[in-house]
Amino acid sequence: MASPLATFPPELLLLVFSLASSHRPTAVSLSLVSHWVHNHVERNLYHTVSLSSSRSLVAFNASLNSKPQVFAHNLVKRLSITALGPISSIDEVLKKCTGVTSLVCGFSVSSYIHSSCARSLKQPSLSAPPETTTTMFRLPIAPREQLLIALACRDGIDMSIISPLVTHLRIQLTPATTFESVARLRELSYLTHLAVTYRHGLHGHANAIKEMIRPIVEEGRLEILVIHVTGAGSEAHRKEIEEWRTDSTLDVIDSTPTSTHRCLGYRPRTLIIAKRDTATVLSQWEQGDNMWNEISAPARL
């Protein structure tokens, strides 16, 4: 008995499969229907990839090895790597997915850079200072949006892991973050949207964080600034949030899409958010939500 699908025009079937496969679980199910269907839903399967375990990282890398060289470049556009390793697999995946426009880095940046530099040097010098090898590293892809979370920020902010073409950047401040490393974000000449997450009480009080990001704000290129303050909902935490909201140097706005505030002078439109942790942000990214929507129209990345 012939399949009922055979009576439908191919163009209509392609449209139905394309719309249905925008939902990832449905796309996975559709990919098992037939080889023909699999070929047409594969684009949506690979458009957004989240690798949260060593198993998924290794499996994804093996899958790319079985594809043509341009496959990953053309199809993978949003990539999240929060697996701890293997570091070599992280490096291979990044070098293959050169068409990525949005990248989440949740792995150890220091381990990744050290491993990459070690592989690139034919005769590494044991006497060379650490900063010498670090400056030799360059991120193999150039996404326009980057989120640095968890282990990626544990040892502070390393500029070499950030794309020089990035326009939308999210960083997480930790006790290891230095004023100098944050100030270097001024070198990102295309940066217009910045989200900064830190835990309540870091460096003592909000004023210290304000001083840390002041060089970037005063550079005058930021259009949007998002401040995420995580931690317990104590009275001190609420006072810290209020310090941000009443800061006269920032154009603080509501998180409603109908807000009509506009940037005044060099002051970026600023949104203050409390109690949003890393897991929530990653979940939001995986669902395809644009965190910048809370302030402005979604950017086309």
CB 271 within 8 A of CB 235: no
- C-alpha–C-alpha distance, residues 232 and 200, integer Å: 8
CB 85 within 8 A of CB 112: no
Whole-number Cα distances in Å, 22 to 39, 44, 232, 240, 268: 14, 6, 37, 41, 34
Cβ-defined contacts of 249-255 (< 8 Å, 24+): 249/210, 249/217, 250/217, 250/225, 253/295, 255/294, 255/295
Q: What is the DSSP letter of 270?
A: E
Q: In residues, how long is the chain?
A: 301
How much is the pLDDT for 93?
95
User: For each successive 10 residues of the chain (301 residues), what is the average pLDDT?
Assistant: 59 58 56 57 78 94 91 92 93 94 94 78 50 62 93 91 95 93 94 91 83 91 90 75 83 54 60 70 75 55 35
Q: Would the pTM count as exceeding 0.85?
A: no
SS3 call for 6:
helix
SS3 call for 168:
strand
- Who contacts 33 (Cβ-Cβ below 8 Å, separation ≥6)? none
Q: What is the pLDDT of residues 199-258, one digit of tens each?
A: 888 877 788 899 999 999 988 899 999 998 887 667 777 888 888 888 877 888 754 433
Q: Nearest CA to 197 among 173, 220, 177?
A: 173
What are the sequence ranges of the domains in the chain? 46-143, 167-295
Ranges assigned E (strand) in the chain: 48-51, 78-81, 102-105, 145-148, 168-172, 193-199, 224-230, 251-252, 269-274
